[in-house]
Amino acid sequence: MTNTMGNQGPVLVIDFGAQYAQLIARRVREARVYSEIAPHTLSAEQILARRPAAIILSGGPASVFEQGAPKLDPALLDAGVPVLGICYGFQAIAYALGAQVDRAFKGEYGSTSASICAPAGLLAGSPVGQQVWMSHGVAVTEAPEGFEVLASTAGAPVAAFQDQGRRIYGLQWHPEVRHTPLGQAALENFLFQEAGLKPDWTPGSIVNTQIAAIREQVGSGRVICGLSGGVDSSVAAALVQRAVGDQLTCVFVDHGLLRAGEREQVEQDFTAVTGAKLVVHDAAAEFLHHLAGVTEPETKRKIIGREFIRAFEAAARTAAPGAQFLVQGTLYPDVVESGGGEGAATIKSHHNVGGLPDDLQFELVEPLKWLFKDEVRAVGTELGLPDSMVWRQPFPGPGLAIRIIGEVTEERLSVVRQADAIVREELTDAGLDREIWQCPVVLLADIRSVGVQGDERTYGHPVVLRPVSSEDAMTADFSRLDYDLLARIAGRITGEVPAVNRIVMDITSKPPGTIEWE
């Protein structure tokens, strides 16, 4: 499904299995042009039915001449829609048009020097040489008939080409990664100079488009919103409030899995800013009851998703009788990770998009489901939400339940809640709230280790710190925290939380590890 935004059709990123497909879409959006990802299994007819303003063919792990490799329908190149191929997409264009594609006599991986022989069109403004990021063992050795060769490298005789008459372009390297310093310039040349698009994808345009869409979907119906206090639900609620006013009732379900002070922040800050009607529903006992004895991560998530909806239904009967619509702060990465879209693998279920009961009593309103996190923050600022809310670190809907490895109990929640509060306070004092994307604090509840505190032997739990840096949670790297800061955090947790006697740090990137442990 395409959700057309702005005043022109979307730029469709056709995913050939690339690890960077989402990143390509992000870079296009950074140029203020709306983009979406679509699977390569769509036919040319299906792709063109979405009325794309331009098409970008992503990279991928296959070789174009191998049996079973994704193929490009030449009809897509004859439709008059501007097309840019990247890596595998570049090779797929050449192969579909009968050019020579063969195993590179020199595979190239990582930073590579490219010689620019024609700094025009796609590469207008480029110096005669630039560093690019390569990842290929197959090369185009001869450009298709009528194409101009723009660049070459040691392992790719044809590393970039274009046919401006047919509006078809290609790059062997990856312009979407920061390791290609001039990559964004090439993407913008394609979008603006060659495809003739306009940069109309702005926070203001997103707000206006979504307000109109919400009003069309909801009409005069009553709406209930699950407010968690996080960035996503707060921005979603503020958008709906702006669209339908007092038709909206916000319900804050206290499931007992929150961090310290979160209920108070929601009750005070959000209502003060938006003026929205807020009802607090205390369901902590019910959630703990249903989570008793459960240790499997996906089961936890599905139970919480199910009970979350049940709590809403209970609250709605009194707070918003007759409500037909439920607002959720689902984001684009949530949809992708939960297997949304053909060919996408389920990494984990998000309670926003997975684990909902089949007999759901509401129609979902998801005004953020096509947005990445940085876009959500920009929309929040556009709506006038304070920085304390807009720049709050992401916190999962299932709460601390998925930061306890093992059964969820009141005692264990207290331990991880205290440790988390210490970490958040220290990171804020160090001025790192915008630098660090997120810092889950994970309790290894079923593991104990020997320690010594106050000259006495202890048998306490380890706590894992997981500080990460990221742009949108699709990929992440661990944050390199100052050792003195880590020492303060470790000293405070082991000194102030009696059940904990050991602090460790997770230095795994994503991939291979997800940000949350469960």
Would you name the residues annotated as active-site residues? 87, 174, 176
Are 168 and 121 in contact, with CB atoms under 8 Å apart?
no
Residue type, 229: G
User: Is the backbone of residue 387 left (phi > 0), alpha (psi -120 to 50) or beta?
Assistant: alpha
DSSP-assigned beta bridge partners for residue 375? none
Are 443 and 412 in contact, with CB atoms under 8 Å apart?
yes
Rounded Cα distance, 315 and 253, in Å? 9
Are 84 and 186 in contact, with CB atoms under 8 Å apart?
no
In 269-378, DSSP assigns E strands to 277-282, 325-327, 363-365
Residue type, 141: T
DSSP H/E element including 44: helix 44-49
Q: What is the distance, to the nearest Å, from the Cα of residue 354 to the centroid of all Cα atoms in its chain?
A: 16
Residue 129 half-sphere exposure toward CB, CA atoms < 13 A: 5
Closest Cα partner for 83 from 7, 75, 174, 43?
75
List the helix and strand counts (H, then E) for the chain: 15, 20
State the Cα angle at 194 between 190 and 198, rounded to 5°.
80
For 172-202, b/e burial (b = at least 16 CB within 10 A) is: bbbbbbeebebbbbbbbbbbeebbebeeebe
Closest Cα partner for 492 from 391, 419, 410?
419
In whole angstroms, how far apart are CA 478 and each of 80, 374, 443, 510, 514?
Answer: 44, 19, 18, 9, 11
Q: Where are the alpha helices (DSSP H) in 192-295?
A: 203-218, 231-244, 262-265, 271-274, 284-291
User: Is the backbone of residue 33 left (phi > 0), alpha (psi -120 to 50) or beta?
Assistant: beta
In whole angstroms, how far apart are CA 27 and each of 33, 68, 72, 347, 472?
Answer: 9, 30, 23, 23, 12
Crossing angle between the packed helical segments 284-291 and 297-319, to the nearest 10 degrees: 150
Owner of token pair 């990460």: 468
